């Protein structure tokens, strides 16, 4: 059916009508007083979402740009950095750090499993000469549906004393608590097309005072992503370069919506949707790619389809018959898993519908290892139980 498509991929995520309408306006000047007023409100609300008193910068980039900006402002060429990698995004930060000439040490874990906090502890405690300058951690690893134990890892980084934390919070921020100040996080990057409920195009970066000191020390060549320019402009509720003003109109609206919902309710909603999705997947006799509930991402659930059911067929059937788009596997996970996003403007109705549609699609493709309705019943038991 036309105009019926519902995105249950981990970004872009669905958009509220109010935010769509907010965008459907003629652009205003990005140096105008009118725009500065909007930026002032947006900045306050970004601080609220990040649970920080520091500035949250707005970059015209996707989430990768925000993380690249963090890496090149925190570090200088040749710096030793630890990078956690248990999926495609962790691996991306390894590549970015290497591209900028950093001395990268990878702390890896198998796909579908969380990073070992002990591995970070051991590497940081062994570094008595304090040569490790930064540690990059992906909080919610979207490619596998795993949330890493950031709080514990950051505790070890703080205990080290020298190393800065650089956090990919792209699918954790706004889905679960990322208390930037309370945990002492230095660089926290995210992107507009995830929990922010607006289209792709903006990157966000929270920077601590320690982080700003590192920006000053860094000898890395930078221009567009020299964060000092953004901080200076933000003091005047502005950005150094032309901002996609219509995206900021939408952001103003969605941040108001998030604020009205409240942090606790926001995080509880994502946890509930995740738990319902996982219960349904189990009830249908399918395997969760990350079977461990403690490290299950609040944003996305990765599912291993039953024997004989191809991932691309399952996704195509869901799209064709039910107008629901779910994601496939990335990189080496292609054809191995499908991923159901429950991030952003997603509610109980959407998850129940997706599970019912999943049952229908599995049935259409010839899998009958479940009693019809059992997935919906399991999800309902979580949501209403």
Considering beta carbons, is residue 168 or 226 the nearer one to ligand PLP? 168
- If 0-12 CB within 10 Å is exposed, 13-18 middle and 19+ buried, where does residue 151 land? middle
Q: How far is the CB of 172 from ligand PLP (least distance, A)?
A: 8
Applying CB under 6 A, which part among 25-33, 135-143, 175-183, 323-331 lies near ligand PLP?
Answer: 135-143
User: Is 211:199 a contact under the CB 8 Å cutoff?
Assistant: no
Applying CB under 6 A, which part among 34-42, 113-121, 137-145, 150-158 lies near ligand PLP?
Answer: 137-145
Q: Which residue from 117, 138, 148, 165 is in contact with ligand PLP, where contact means CB under 6 A?
A: 138
The CA R_g of the chain, rounded to the nearest whole Å, is 21
Quick one: tokens of 162? 């020298």
Site for ligand PLP in 141-180 (CB under 6 A): 142, 168, 170-171
- If 0-12 CB within 10 Å is exposed, 13-18 middle and 19+ buried, where does residue 147 land? buried
Please name the residues in contact with 38: beta carbons below 8 A apart, sequence gap of 6 or more: 248, 249, 252
Q: How far is the CB of 46 from ligand PLP (least distance, A)?
A: 17
Give the separation between CA 106 and CA 91, rounded to whole angstroms.
9
User: Is 303:337 a contact under the CB 8 Å cutoff?
Assistant: yes
Question: Using omega within 30 degrees of 0 as the cis cutoff, is the peptide bond preceding 12 cis?
Answer: yes
Considering beta carbons, is residue 175 or 314 the nearer one to ligand PLP? 175
Site for ligand PLP in 74-113 (CB under 6 A): 89
Give the separation between CA 328 and CA 303, rounded to whole angstroms.
10
Closest residue to ligand PLP, judged by C-beta, is: 63
Q: How far is the CB of 112 from ligand PLP (least distance, A)?
A: 15
Other Cβ atoms closer than 10 A to 211: 23
**Going residue by residue from 173 to 192, which x/- string records binding to ligand PLP, judged by CB under 6 A?**
------------------x-
Using rule CB under 6 A, residue 11 touches ligand PLP: yes
Considering beta carbons, is residue 191 or 306 the nearer one to ligand PLP? 191
Site for ligand PLP in 250-309 (CB under 6 A): none
Please report, as ranges, the residues that interact with ligand PLP according to CB under 6 A. Answer: 10-11, 62-64, 89, 138, 140, 142, 168, 170-171, 191
């Amino acid at each position: 059916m036309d105009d019926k498509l519902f995105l249950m991929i981990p970004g872009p995520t669905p958009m509220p009508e109010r935010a769509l309408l907010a965008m459907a306006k003629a652009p205003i000047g990005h140096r105008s007083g009118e725009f500065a007023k909007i930026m002032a409100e947006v900045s306050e609300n970004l601080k609220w979402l990040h649970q920080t008193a520091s500035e949250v910068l707005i970059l015209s980039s996707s989430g990768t740009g925000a993380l690249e900006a963090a890496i090149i402002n925190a570090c200088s060429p040749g710096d030793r950095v630890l990078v956690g990698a248990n999926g495609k995004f962790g691996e991306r930060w390894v590549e970015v750090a290497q591209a900028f000439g950093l001395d990268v040490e990878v702390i890896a874990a198998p796909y579908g499993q969380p990073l070992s906090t002990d591995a970070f502890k051991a590497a940081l405690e062994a570094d008595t000469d304090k040569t490790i300058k930064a540690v990059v951690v992906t909080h919610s690893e979207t490619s596998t549906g795993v949330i890493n134990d950031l709080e514990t890892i950051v505790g070890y980084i703080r205990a080290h004393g020298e190393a800065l934390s650089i956090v990919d919070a792209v699918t954790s921020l706004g889905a679960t608590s990322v208390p930037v100040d309370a945990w002492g996080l230095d660089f926290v990057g995210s992107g507009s097309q995830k929990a922010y409920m607006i289209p792709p195009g903006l990157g966000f970066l929270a920077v601590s005072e320690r982080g700003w000191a590192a920006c000053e020390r860094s000898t890395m060549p930078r221009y567009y992503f020299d964060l000092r320019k953004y901080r200076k402009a933000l003091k005047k509720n502005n950005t150094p370069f032309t901002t996609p003003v219509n995206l900021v109109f939408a952001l103003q609206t969605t941040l108001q919506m998030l604020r009205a919902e409240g942090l606790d309710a926001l995080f509880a909603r994502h946890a509930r949707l995740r738990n319902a999705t996982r219960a349904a997947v189990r009830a249908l006799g399918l395997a969760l790619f990350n079977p461990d509930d403690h490290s299950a991402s609040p944003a996305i659930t990765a599912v291993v389809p039953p024997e004989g059911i191809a991932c691309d067929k399952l996704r195509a059937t869901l799209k064709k018959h039910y107008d629901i788009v779910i994601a496939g596997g990335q990189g080496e996970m292609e054809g191995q898993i499908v991923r159901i996003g429950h991030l952003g403007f997603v509610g109980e109705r959407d998850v129940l519908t997706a599970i019912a549609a999943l049952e229908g699609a599995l049935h259409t493709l010839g899998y009958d290892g479940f009693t019809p309705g059992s997935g919906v019943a399991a999800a309902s038991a979580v949501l209403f139980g």
